[in-house]
């Protein structure tokens, strides 16, 4: 009788240990914050109407050493500034080769040092001597926000802050997009790493937190470059530089 009791107790201990072991190594679905929380202005909205969403990420149960399902976030959430912002991880977005900086032949009557922006073809030219120019790919004004004219650079700023115009705030609010009253400069700021202000207008040549938009008509009239390209241009021009937009 005693042997039977001891055997039953031993078996119970073995099964309990196995159950605890299984529980210890069981894979539980982790909680993942919604990508919406990455919006840089989400914490500035206030009030009780904006509630971040929390999603459960599905994980397939395939045993202890089976690979887990991984959720892929949109590219917009993984873009970061490279060497101009040390310490921030970078995942580069492929850009069409023609929009990468390069020296090209460029015949013009404009003096060397002048900036010429071809909005139709999405190029910015920095005129050089000898019938050449340094060419950069740009993003330009979307339909309804195109413009042309000649101005001078009146101010240059590194890592500019951003105060959306009231017209933009109202326009985006009508679409359900709520912009901040102001945003400090930084990698998530839409103006990017550098800004060059044109005349007394609200238009700027600036960087971007969305480098995959270069080559597209997406802005409210400003000219945007990749951050590494706007830094390069910023160092080559000075206040007073003539800028022609056509």
Catalytically annotated residues: 206, 222
CA distances to 196, 198, 206 from 155, in Å? 6, 8, 12
CA distances to 53, 109, 110 from 146, in Å? 37, 24, 22
What are the φ/ψ torsions at residue 229 (nearest 5 degrees)?
Answer: -80, -40
Q: For residues 43 and 189, is the Cβ–Cβ distance under 8 A?
A: no
């Amino acid at each position: 009788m005693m042997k039977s009791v001891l055997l039953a107790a031993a078996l119970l201990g073995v099964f309990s240990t196995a159950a605890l072991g299984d529980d210890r190594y069981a894979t539980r679905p982790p909680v993942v914050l919604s990508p919406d929380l990455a919006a840089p202005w989400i914490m500035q909205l206030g009030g009780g109407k904006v509630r971040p969403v929390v999603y459960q990420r599905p994980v397939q149960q395939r045993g202890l050493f089976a690979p887990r399902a991984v959720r892929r976030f949109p590219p917009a959430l993984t873009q970061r500034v490279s060497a101009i912002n040390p310490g921030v991880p970078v995942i580069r977005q492929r850009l069409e080769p023609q929009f990468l900086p390069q020296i090209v032949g460029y015949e013009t009557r404009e003096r060397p040092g002048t900036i010429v922006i071809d909005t139709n073809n999405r190029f910015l030219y920095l005129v050089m001597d000898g019938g050449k120019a340094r060419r950069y790919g740009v993003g330009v004004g979307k339909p309804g926000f195109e413009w042309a004219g000649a101005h001078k650079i009146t101010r240059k700023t590194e890592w500019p802050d951003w105060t959306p115009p009231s017209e933009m705030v109202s326009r985006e609010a009508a679409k359900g997009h709520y912009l901040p009253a102001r945003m400090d400069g930084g990698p998530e700021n839409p103006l990017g790493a550098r800004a060059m202000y044109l005349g007394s207008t609200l238009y700027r040549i600036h960087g971007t937190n969305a480098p995959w938009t270069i080559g597209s008509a997406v802005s409210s009239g400003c000219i945007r470059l990749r951050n590494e390209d706007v830094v390069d241009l910023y160092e080559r021009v000075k206040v007073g530089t003539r800028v022609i937009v056509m």
